[in-house]
């Protein structure tokens, strides 16, 4: 019963909570939260359903009582690392795309950059492509 409740109740709440707080701390509003949950929530939840039931079976079945908290904390650290990786994965894909296809990101002149793009480049991006835009 514990494992079922963990998977059906706690996992969705924890995954949604992680991406909600992470997105809000990144300075994005409710729209950003909804977009991130739609983009990454399902894959994180499926990963949670794959990871935590096995981890809990091992914890309750094989780990000595006095080591269970340490075991669970170590796995929680790994899980949070995975969620952080999943949260930043889209940025990595854009960076890889920018490196492998630089022609897609070249600008003809600074005049073609909108005010919003210029502001975003000044506040967010520090890559070698955007540095000349800010200069």
Interatomic CA distance for residues 8 and 52, integer angstroms: 11
Rounded to two decimals, what is the model's pTM?
0.65
Residue 6: the pLDDT is: 85
pLDDT in tens, 15-74: 999 999 999 999 999 998 998 898 889 989 999 999 999 999 999 999 999 999 999 999
Interatomic CA distance for residues 125 and 123, integer angstroms: 6
Q: Is the confidence at residue 1, as pLDDT, over 80?
A: no
Residue 81: the pLDDT is: 96
Q: Is the confidence at residue 4, as pLDDT, over 50?
A: yes
Residue 135: the pLDDT is: 44
pLDDT in tens, 11-31: 999 999 999 999 999 999 999
SS3 label, residue 26: coil
Residue 61: the pLDDT is: 95
pLDDT in tens, 77-121: 999 999 999 988 876 666 676 777 777 666 555 555 666 566 555
Q: Is the confidence at residue 124, as pLDDT, over 90?
A: no
Residues 6+ apart with CB under 8 A from 78: none
Residue 100: the pLDDT is: 78
Cα-only R_g, the chain? 20
Sign of torsion, CA 108 110 115 116?
Answer: positive
């Amino acid at each position: 019963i514990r494992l079922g409740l963990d998977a059906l109740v706690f996992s969705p709440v924890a995954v949604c909570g992680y991406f909600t707080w992470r997105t809000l701390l990144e300075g994005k509003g409710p729209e950003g939260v909804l977009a991130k949950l739609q983009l990454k929530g399902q894959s994180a939840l499926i990963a949670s359903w794959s990871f935590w039931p096995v981890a809990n079976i091992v914890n309750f079945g094989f780990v000595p009582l006095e080591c269970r908290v340490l075991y669970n904390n170590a796995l929680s650290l790994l899980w949070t690392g995975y969620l952080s990786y999943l949260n930043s994965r889209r940025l990595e894909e854009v960076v890889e795309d920018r490196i492998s296809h630089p022609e897609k990101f070249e600008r003809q002149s600074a005049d073609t950059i909108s005010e919003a793009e210029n502001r975003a480049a000044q506040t967010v991006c520090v890559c070698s492509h955007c540095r000349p835009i800010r200069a």
